[in-house]
Amino acid sequence: MSLQIYNTMTRQKEVFTPIEPGKIRMYVCGMTVYDYCHLGHARVLVAFDVITRYMRASGYDVHYVRNITDVDDKIIKRANENDESCDALTERFIAAMHEDEARLGVLSPTEEPRATAHIDGIVELVETLIDKGFAYVADNGDVYYRVTKFADYGKLNNRNLEEMQAGARIDVNDVKEHPGDFVLWKSAKPGEVSWESPWGPGRPGWHIECSAMTKCCLGSSFDIHGGGPDLKFPHHENEIAQSEAANGVKYVNTWMHAGAIRVNNEKMSKSLGNFFTIREILETYHPEVVRYFLTAGHYRSQVDYSEASLKEAKGALDRFYHALRGIEPVEEGQLDNDYDARFTAAMDDDFNTAGALSVLFELTREINRVKEDAQQAGRLVSQLKRLAGILGLLQLDAEVYLQGGQDDAGDGPSAEQIEALIVERAEAKKARNFARADEIRDSLKSQGIILDDSREGTSWRRES
């Protein structure tokens, strides 16, 4: 089975064929860096990280570009509120974003261009649009895109201009020719950060940034463009209009959009008080648990965030790590099973991570079945870790994960305290002081520490 991807533009799955054989050029809209990344950002970061990992594991040379918007109205407003420069604000939140994505196991993109580093390209693109009649300078000094000039405007969202205009309110003082026209270049207001242009000092509009950065990093046409569910309109629609009008060629072959995040069946929003940043969630849950939660559902599906769903994710991840515990991986050799083929079939079906994980659970059950055969179990463990690694999971040593080490957010006694109590318990049992031994076990259990006794001794883990 060849890789099939659901294309938002055509609203169907299509066999994926890259423009250049063996190579994939992909662009994903990144963050506007005026605040900490939230769970919706994590959804997009993890989804396209898994997609990139799988395409590379399939043998593709993937050139993955994810931009940073480091100038816009929100950034300027927040910098003014904080009495700091835009540069200081954006550098701080770019660093925080990198910390968050690293903790979630998200690999760095091939390129991470910033809007402010592409001003020359943006100005050149706007000039081209004006020269071709697709843009105009308004009376207030702003430059607008003329949507009525682009015949295919609305094709990504399957809406025509009249439908998009329905209900639009037109200000009698509006400087735009048409209510759907969107800004390409904003003339500078007093005190705002600005750059020189043929139309006077100003700064780019949001949509034009991506058209300029994609052209610089990937060319006029490329394979895949992705982003969050809220970007289909107007952002991606406007990107298409700008880029195809300026360059005269098809902009993108395949459009991909991750699903939305809901919290307890309600839309996540600050006004509802159910808005969570990545770092807030990681104060309570292990990063790999959060990654598993975001990976368990199909990337296009809506994900409902709740305490119950996070606990369910932790329980599932624990099952994997329990299977790995105490087994030394060995070279896989020639495996006599079909787990690889079935995992690949699931992922080739529009990156069906839920299907891929179900295969990994079957592999886990097989590991538990043959656990007494160190060689066979070791080969299967190597296979499990390799396949799970394509999803960015099972990256830790089993003992480290189960004992809550390496970036665990949980509270409770330290590893040293637990180990000391295990020694004391062993000595109590040896002295036939079973009451004290039971007291230690029960005390640890009340603190979320589970002791597992076996012929090899006593191991411990933090409770799911």
Structure tokens at 162: 């009249």
Report the distance separating Cα 230 and Cα 236, nearest Å.
Answer: 9
- Residue 239 assigned as binding residue: yes
Find the distance separating the first CA and the last CA of the chain, reported in whole Å: 38
- Residue 29 assigned as binding residue: yes
Pick the closest to residue 28 from 68, 58, 55, 74 (CA basis): 68
The residue with tokens 């639009």 is 168
Which residues fall within 8 angstroms of residue 301, CB to CB, at 6 or more apart?
259
Three-class secondary structure of residue 74 per DSSP: helix
Could you please report the per-residue DSSP string of 118-129? GHHHHHHHHHHH
Cα 371 to Cα 362, 366, 368, 376, 379: the distances in Å are 14, 8, 5, 8, 11
Amino acid identity, residue 314?
K
- Residue 86 assigned as binding residue: no
- Residue 37 assigned as binding residue: no
Residue 336, judged by CB atoms within 10 A of its CB (0-12, 13-18, 19+), counts as exposed
Return binding residues for Zn(2+): 29, 210, 235, 239
Return binding residues: 29, 210, 235, 239, 270
Return binding residues for ATP: 270
